[in-house]
């Protein structure tokens, strides 16, 4: 807080306020360059390389950040994140996603995905075709030819 003791200080103080009010407005900012997919990828890579959201400090900072949003902004954020999640995870639910640090789990997930894809492509038998008879137990011949 500033203390004004003399009339001269008051006049100088008021003159400064008037000059600030009369100062020309800064020129408008140049239009921003259009945002490209590469710009988005750069930002996503920064996010992906960051700290875990399971970290208590990170969670607290996120809670403070999101608390500033109104409901429409929160809805838009969720829609945006869901869309990115579908692209980045190929539609795999996070609860069923393999741990990326476990190469065995990734191999199993890839194999399961290929099996499911092959099953989806396989033709379904029609009702007119009778199912093949299932063979009974195979006899074991001991010492036979």
Q: How confident is the model at residue 132 (pLDDT cuts 50, 70, 90)?
A: low
Report which of residues 138 and 24 the model is more confident about. Answer: 24
pLDDT at 27: 77
3-class secondary-structure state, position 42: helix
Dihedral sign of CA atoms 79, 85, 88, 90 in order: negative
The first and second tokens of residue 42, run together, are: 């750069």
Average pLDDT along the chain? 75
Please name the helix (run of DSSP H) or strand (run of DSSP E) that holds residue 19, with its range, or none.
helix 7-22
95 pLDDT more than 90: no
* 44 contacts: CB under 8 Å, gap ≥ 6: 84, 88
Model pTM?
0.43
Average pLDDT for 118-140:
52
> Please, which residues have CB within 8 angstroms of residue 57's CB and are 6 or more apart in sequence?
51
pLDDT at position 125 is: 47
CA dihedral for 66, 71, 73, 78, sign (positive or negative): positive
22: DSSP letter: H
DSSP 2: -
Residue 139: alpha-carbon gap to chain centroid: 58
């Amino acid at each position: 807080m500033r203390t004004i003791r003399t009339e001269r200080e008051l006049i100088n103080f008021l003159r400064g306020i008037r000059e600030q009010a009369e100062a020309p407005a800064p020129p408008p900012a140049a239009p921003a360059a259009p945002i490209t997919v590469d710009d988005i990828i750069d930002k996503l890579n920064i996010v992906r390389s960051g700290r875990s959201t399971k970290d208590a400090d990170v969670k607290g900072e996120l809670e403070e950040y999101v608390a500033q949003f109104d409901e429409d902004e929160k809805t838009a954020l969720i829609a945006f994140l869901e869309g990115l999640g579908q692209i980045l995870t190929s539609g795999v639910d996070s609860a069923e996603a393999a741990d990326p640090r476990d190469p065995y789990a990734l191999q199993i997930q890839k194999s399961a995905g290929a099996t499911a894809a092959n099953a989806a492509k396989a033709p379904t038998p029609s009702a007119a075709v009778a199912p093949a008879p299932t063979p009974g137990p195979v006899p074991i011949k001991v010492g036979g030819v």
